[in-house]
Structure 1
Amino acid sequence: MDHLDLTNDSRTTMNSGVRSVQIHDDERDVIFTCVVQYPTLTDTSSTTIGPYAFDATLNAPIAAGQFPICLVSHGGGGSHLLYRSIGTHLSKNGYIVIALEHFGDNRNDRSLADTDAGAELRPRHAVLTLDTVLGDPFFKSAGDSKQVAVLGHSMGGYTALALIGGQPYSRSARKLAVKADPRFRAAVLLAPATDWYRAPGSLNNVTAPVLVIAGERDSVTRPEDIRETLSPLLENDPSQMIVVPDAGHFSFLAPFPAHMRRNDFPPSSDPEGFNREQFHLILPERILGFLNRTLITR
């Protein structure tokens, strides 16, 4: 079981732009949003979205060329704005990073959280988001639909597994109606919710390489449970699992602004002795390395 190398070998070549895109689900008659970070040659100026500062320039022109894509799926009841350290680093290194806000399972609306309906909707909305961004005039010629990865945290890890061929089952043993998308050719799973995939054969159709990163002190998605469930996937090179010493379940979220950090707000807190700021100087580079090896060269 690997541990994370705390060597920062960052070699960014561009800056990051950011813009919002609205996604229309005509079948359900709902609208949700995503934030897209992308490579730009424009000088960086900070952009504030909600309470969070992005090291990215709002609506900057996209750099010339065609770029691989990484779609980000947030955790249950979470936010698409909480993975900006990863999104910024990937976009500065030539990726288009699409972070969607899951309808009915986000910080403002938990009406579908922990439900079968929400679990089935998540991967469908991820695909709809990818289709919308690829069809958007701003990104249409820049996104490479043959080089697409998915990154998911917690319930987002559930979503990522469904997109690459996993067959989830509900807690009542009902087979959930999800559909894989062959465009997703690699997956990064951060403290993934794997209990949906414990039925025999649930992962038989997953062939994409996966990078699994878990927190040693995560009591929500315990590393031993993750390894047990995903062991069939981890037998195939270059898939791997990393356990981060002392990290908790929320350590994978970008550091919160100082005024939002408090002990009674678990997403902003880490186990004693864990340095989230330092970790987020390292985590994006490890993710970039995996995607470059498994997505770009395949």
Structure 2
Amino acid sequence: MVLISHGTGGSPLVYRTIARHLARNGFVVGMLEHPYNNRNDNTLEGTIDNLTIRPKHISMAIDWFFNSEDFTKFLKPDSVSVIGHSMGGYTALAASGGIPSSFPYESSDEKSHLINVTHDYRIKSLVLLAPASVWFKTKGALAGINIPILMLVGEKDQFTPYFHAEIIFNGITDNTKIQHRIVENAGHFSFLSPFPKEMMNASFLPSQDPPSFNREYFHHELNEEITEFLLKNI
């Protein structure tokens, strides 16, 4: 089973091509919409509450699928992967053994706090797409993660630039478990499914890529790369 965690203020629908491709290749795919941090209601963006509950959504979704008579017969026990884009990358890391810390501006007392998260050992691999990782900068914050990771980052990402990937590389104890690629000329939103032409304009940033980047072509490549990784690591 694969769960997809969207970015802050986002939607699961913008990963529809990845989800469809995985489903056609035999995976059960769950597309979460994180309450109060999505396109319809973004009340908790930038808060410690959001950092706390996002990883819980992952475990709740896993519980639901494994307790569902419609799905459980198709699922391999305790074998889950999480795909996380941007803030979804934070979510995936926190749910699989990371210990995040908040920033002072994220809580009412204006202090930094360790986030109370529970390691869900059913998660056996991660796919991180332009992951947001600044909440894992403290020593040992990622030492508890010991599973295969596919991490893809955009060369021209202005929202989660390369230092986010470096935090993960430096924090994971065995970084030989990380399969990593910098996607040439890709931006932060290049990992979202291509939008219809009617929605593509400069004022709608999720539809935009760096000049000459072909999102449609890239997603054919991306789908195959993710599928190949998951078939080996779930």
Question: Same fold judged by TM-score > 0.5?
Answer: yes
Post-superposition CA distance 1:163-185 (Å, at most 9, x none): 11000000133101111100001
CA RMSD of aligned residues (A): 1.3
Q: What residue number does 1:136 align with?
A: 68
What amino acid is the match of 2:88? G
Post-superposition CA distance 1:69-127 (Å, at most 9, x none): 01110000000111111111111111111110000000000001111101111011111
How many corresponding residue pairs?
227
The answer for unaligned runs of 5 or more in structure 1 is 1-68
C-alpha contact 1:123 1:178 (8 A) present in aligned 2: yes
Structure 1 pair 163–197 and aligned structure 2 pair: CA distance change class (3 A):
same
Post-superposition CA distance 1:14-39 (Å, at most 9, x none): xxxxxxxxxxxxxxxxxxxxxxxxxx
Q: What residue number does 1:216 align with?
A: 155
What amino acid is the match of 2:78? K
Q: CA deviation at 1:136?
A: 1.8
What amino acid is the match of 2:35? F
Whole-angstrom distance in 2 between the partners of 1:234 and 1:117? 28
Whole-angstrom distance in 2 between the partners of 1:153 and 1:164? 15
Matched, 1:123 2:55: yes
Structure 1 pair 228–100 and aligned structure 2 pair: CA distance change class (3 A):
closer
Whole-angstrom distance in 2 between the partners of 1:140 and 1:294? 20
C-alpha contact 1:263 1:269 (8 A) present in aligned 2: yes
What amino acid is the match of 2:5? S
Q: What residue number does 1:168 align with?
A: 100
Whole-angstrom distance in 1 between the partners of 2:171 and 2:102? 20
Matched, 1:264 2:203: yes
Whole-angstrom distance in 1 between the partners of 2:137 and 2:171? 11
What amino acid is the match of 2:15? Y
Matched, 1:85 2:85: no
Whole-angstrom distance in 2 between the partners of 1:285 and 1:230? 24
What amino acid is the match of 1:123? P
Q: What residue number does 1:51 align with?
A: none
Q: What residue number does 1:155 align with?
A: 87
Whole-angstrom distance in 2 between the partners of 1:294 and 1:143? 15
Task: Pick the structure with more helix per residue.
Answer: 2
Q: What residue number does 1:97 align with?
A: 29
Q: What residue number does 1:76 align with?
A: 8
C-alpha contact 1:188 1:210 (8 A) present in aligned 2: yes
Equivalent in 275, 280, 285 of residue 214 of structure 2: 275
Q: CA deviation at 1:233?
A: 2.7
C-alpha contact 1:234 1:240 (8 A) present in aligned 2: no
C-alpha contact 1:215 1:243 (8 A) present in aligned 2: yes
* Secondary structure of 1:204 counterpart: coil
Q: CA deviation at 1:235?
A: 4.7
C-alpha contact 2:146 2:173 (8 A) present in aligned 1: no
Whole-angstrom distance in 2 between the partners of 1:145 and 1:207? 19
C-alpha contact 2:169 2:175 (8 A) present in aligned 1: no
What amino acid is the match of 1:272? P
What amino acid is the match of 2:50? G
Whole-angstrom distance in 1 between the partners of 2:168 and 2:24? 34
C-alpha contact 2:142 2:173 (8 A) present in aligned 1: no
C-alpha contact 2:140 2:171 (8 A) present in aligned 1: no
Whole-angstrom distance in 1 between the partners of 2:71 and 2:40? 28
* Secondary structure of 1:145 counterpart: coil
What is the percent sequence identity of the aligned residues?
Answer: 42
Post-superposition CA distance 1:223-270 (Å, at most 9, x none): 233224433438533422210001000000000111111110000110
Q: What residue number does 1:179 align with?
A: 118
Q: What residue number does 2:232 align with?
A: 293
* Secondary structure of 2:77 counterpart: strand
